[in-house]
């Protein structure tokens, strides 16, 4: 059974057809990098996977559960899919530890005593054990993004979606976030990332999906696709990123 | 003409000040409660409620407070509902306040970036949970300075209640002047009374604005 299964997915914004029939299977533990030009529909695809956008037609199954529109509540969905954003989106009025503990407490009704050790361990695992009581505004971008990862993991999702999560960071802070992702990958987390980090996609990713004009134009084993692109569009895209 | 000493005048004004304060506080608290309910409706996902509140806010923001007061006092009385000047003033100021704070609070909630809602949503929170645990805490920080600032408008607004015969600060001053005819002294002291109520509030609002301006850090 695939962890993520997308069939004939279509999505338009008004007259603008953004996804034009996406078929995608992702196995448990796979690390899939989605690459492609700006505007090719990468973010929209991710956002459909957790219903931040509702698709027009086609089907999405995550961990065997079918998502269609209102069928699955935000709460149920959060047990399957987590998401990290480019802009971190930490809750600025809550301390780092509270950011991590909030969802398990509010959504699952867990007690603070039950959640706190887990939250501390998660922060430890992203290298921020000592920041439990800090305010998000006091952290660097790289640290904030690592908190966001810990916060997402607190809901123990099966799949983690990452939308250009290093794009807003100063270059010297990108590495610390990628290392956390790499550790997750090694631990067997299923990752779907929209990324411009070709080296990361090649070294850590198991598969690369190239999107072009709302379709999957080329995909396959990460090293194969990046080292030996078949279509002229992908060749051109890769040339433009070097 | 009766002879009043400065202290007599001040004594009368200070006693009347209680009514101005009482009216202001009731209007502000009542208006805050109604305003909170309106804000909730205004930011709900039910179109009809949104429109209703929008109309209400436009109505009260788009007409003079004095007219609202007349409508409630004289208008209702023409329909056979006789309200005391005190009740009419309280109702009018409460409704007036609710419309304005609703607008301030709606704006504060809408100022919270969409990313906050989305982050909460993908963590599994419902709309109400997000509002309560993520949005309100931040919106309050945005709202507090303009809300305190608006309280000054409420205090000054209470002066209009004198027109329908409610004996608060301004009406007391007018009556004193009719008896003593010392307009400069009496209205000067009246102005001083309002200033002493309002100035600290506007200073406080400005202080809050500066202090809470630093987004995301405390
Ligand atoms: N919420 C939205 N409303 C309208 N158009 C949108 C929305 N989100 C994305 N789009 C449009 O969809 C297209 C694809 O956007 P996106 O999925 O963000 O691409 P990418 O992430 O690959 O850069 C763009 O043309 C964009 O303008
Ligand atoms: Mg994008």
ipTM: 0.93
At B213 the pLDDT is 63
Q: Cβ of B115 under 8 Å from any chain A Cβ? A: yes
Q: Ligand 1 pocket, A46 CB below 6 A?
A: no
Cα separation, A142 vs A168, in Å, equals 9
pLDDT band with cut points at 50, 70 and 90 for residue A189 = very high
The answer for A 32-61 residues in CB contact with B (under 8 A) is 50, 52
Cα separation, A132 vs A142, in Å, equals 16
Q: Ligand 1 pocket, A38 CB below 6 A?
A: yes
Asked if pLDDT for residue B141 goes beyond 80, the answer is yes
Class of domain A28-53+70-80+158-241: alpha beta
pTM for this entry: 0.89
At A69 the pLDDT is 56
Residue A23, helix vs strand vs coil: strand
Phi-psi region of A219 (alpha: psi -120 to 50; beta: other; left: phi over 0): beta
At A78 the pLDDT is 85
At B209 the pLDDT is 83
Ordered strands of the A215-221 beta sheet: A81-84, A159-163, A190-194, A31-36, A207-212, A215-221
Cα separation, A79 vs A158, in Å, equals 7
Q: Show the tokens assigned to A125.
A: 């695992």
Facing A74 at nearest CB: one of B124, B134, B137: B124
Cα separation, A68 vs A79, in Å, equals 16
Asked if pLDDT for residue B216 goes beyond 60, the answer is no
Report the percent of chain B where pLDDT is more than 90. 88
Residues of A with Cβ-Cβ distance to B124 under 8 angstroms:
74-79, 103, 107-108, 155
* String of DSSP letters for B52-116: HHHHHHHHHHSS-HHHHHHIIIIIHHHTT----HHHHHHHHHHHHHHHHHHHHHHHHHHTS-HHH
Pocket test for ligand 1, best of A10, A14, A16, A162 (most atoms within 8 A of CB): A16
In this prediction, residues A213-225 reach a mean pLDDT of: 95
Q: Ligand 1 pocket, A18 CB below 6 A?
A: yes
Cα separation, A1 vs A3, in Å, equals 7
Ordered strands of the A16-26 beta sheet: A16-26, A4-13, A57-62, A65-67
Shortest-distance atom of ligand 1 to CA A45: 17
Q: How far is A137 from chain B (nearest CA, A)?
A: 5
Q: Ligand 1 pocket, A91 CB below 6 A?
A: no
Q: Cβ of B126 under 8 Å from any chain A Cβ? A: yes
First to last CA, chain B: 60
- The answer to whether B123 contacts A89, with C-beta atoms less than 8 Å apart, is no
- Beta partners for A32? A192, A207
A40 CA distance to ligand 2 centroid (A)?
8
First to last CA, chain A: 37
> CA triplet A172, A177, A179: central angle to 5 degrees?
100
- Beta partners for A58? none
Cα separation, A28 vs B16, in Å, equals 76
The closest residue, in CA terms, to atom 8 on ligand 1 is: A44
Asked if pLDDT for residue A74 goes beyond 90, the answer is no
Facing A87 at nearest CB: one of B115, B141, B215: B115
Q: Ligand 1 pocket, A195 CB below 6 A?
A: no
Element (H, E) at A219: strand A215-221
Q: Where are the domains of chain A?
A: 28-53+70-80+158-241, 88-156
pLDDT digits 0-9 by tens, A85-137: 999 999 999 999 999 999 999 999 999 999 999 999 999 999 999 999 999 99
Cα separation, A111 vs A215, in Å, equals 45
Neighbours of B196 (CB within 10 A): 10
Q: How far is B215 from chain A (nearest CA, A)?
A: 8
Asked if pLDDT for residue A229 goes beyond 60, the answer is yes
């Amino acid at each position: 059974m695939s962890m993520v299964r997308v069939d004939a997915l279509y999505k338009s914004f008004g007259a603008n057809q953004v996804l034009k029939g996406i078929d995608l299977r992702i196995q448990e533990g796979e690390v899939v990098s989605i690459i492609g030009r700006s505007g090719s529909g990468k973010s929209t695809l991710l956002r459909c996977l957790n219903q931040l956008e509702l698709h027009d037609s086609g089907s999405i199954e995550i961990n065997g559960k079918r998502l269609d529109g209102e069928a699955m509540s935000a709460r149920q969905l959060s047990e399957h899919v987590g998401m990290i954003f480019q802009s971190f989106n930490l809750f600025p009025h809550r301390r780092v530890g509270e950011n991590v503990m909030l969802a398990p407490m509010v959504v699952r009704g867990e007690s603070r005593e039950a959640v706190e050790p887990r939250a501390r361990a998660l922060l430890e695992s992203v290298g921020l054990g000592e920041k439990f009581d800090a305010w998000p505004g006091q952290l660097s971008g790289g640290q904030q993004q690592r908190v966001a990862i810990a916060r997402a993991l607190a809901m123990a999702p099966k799949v983690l979606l990452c939308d250009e999560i290093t794009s807003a960071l100063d270059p010297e802070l990108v590495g610390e976030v990628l290392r956390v992702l790499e550790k997750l990958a090694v631990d067997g987390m299923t990752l779907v990332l929209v990324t411009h980090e070709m080296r990361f996609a090649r070294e850590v990713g198991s598969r690369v999906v190239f999107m072009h004009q709302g379709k999957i134009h080329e995909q396959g084993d990460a090293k194969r696709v990046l080292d030996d692109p078949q279509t002229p569009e992908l060749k051109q895209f890769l040339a433009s990123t070097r | 003409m009766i002879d009043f000493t400065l202290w007599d005048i001040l004594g009368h004004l200070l006693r009347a000040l209680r009514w101005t304060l009482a009216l202001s506080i009731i209007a502000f608290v009542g208006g805050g409660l109604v305003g909170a309910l309106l804000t909730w409706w205004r930011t709900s996902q039910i179109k009809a409620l949104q429109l209703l509140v929008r109309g209400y806010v436009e109505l009260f923001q788009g007409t003079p407070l004095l007219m609202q007061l007349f409508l409630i006092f004289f208008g209702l009385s023409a329909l056979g509902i006789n309200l005391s000047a005190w009740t009419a003033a309280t109702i009018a100021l409460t409704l007036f306040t609710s419309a304005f704070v609703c607008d301030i609070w709606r704006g504060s909630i809408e100022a919270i970036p969409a990313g906050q809602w989305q982050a909460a949503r993908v963590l599994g929170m419902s709309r109400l949970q997000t509002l309560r645990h993520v949005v309100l805490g931040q919106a309050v920080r945005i709202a507090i300075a303009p809300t305190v600032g608006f309280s000054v408008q409420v205090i000054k607004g209470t002066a209009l209640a004198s027109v329908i015969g409610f004996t608060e600060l301004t009406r007391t001053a007018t009556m004193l002047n009719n008896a003593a005819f010392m307009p400069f002294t009496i209205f000067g002291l009246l102005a001083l009374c309002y200033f002493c109520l309002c100035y600290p509030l506007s200073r406080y609002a400005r202080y809050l604005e500066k202090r809470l301006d630093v987004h995301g850090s405390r």
